[in-house]
Amino acid sequence: MFTTLAELQVQDLAGFLAVFATGGAGLRQRHGAKRADVFAYPEDPNRAFVIIDWPDAAAFAAFRADPDVPSMMKSGGLMAPPEFRIVNRIAQLPA
């Protein structure tokens, strides 16, 4: 598993989620994404982060290189390109 964390600045969180859950989901699935979790910062309604699980680094690279991705991100109201970080999930534990 290859996991990325993306920090986002959005114009409108609800508008972003609408695109992320539809057209954005199709693009992520095209490149093999397994899961995407979206988190919002309560103190800043225009800031969020997304954790996405990919099968491997090549799938993420293909997503990043897809020419449809920038326009989809723009239609979701991103105010700037997301800042991606690679993270390692070291544990998933029950509460």
Domain residue extents for the chain: 2-87
The sign of the torsion formed by the CA atoms of 65, 7, 33, 90 equals positive
Q: How far is CA 71 from CA 5, 25, 43, 89, 91, in A?
A: 20, 14, 28, 30, 34
Position 89, amino acid: R
Query: pTM for this one?
Result: 0.92
What pLDDT, in 10s, does the model give residues 34-78? 999 999 999 998 999 999 999 999 999 999 999 999 999 999 999
Q: Is CATH 3.30.70.100 the classification given to domain 2-87?
A: yes
What pLDDT, in 10s, does the model give residues 9-40? 999 999 999 999 999 999 999 999 999 999 99
What pLDDT, in 10s, does the model give residues 45-57? 899 999 999 999 9
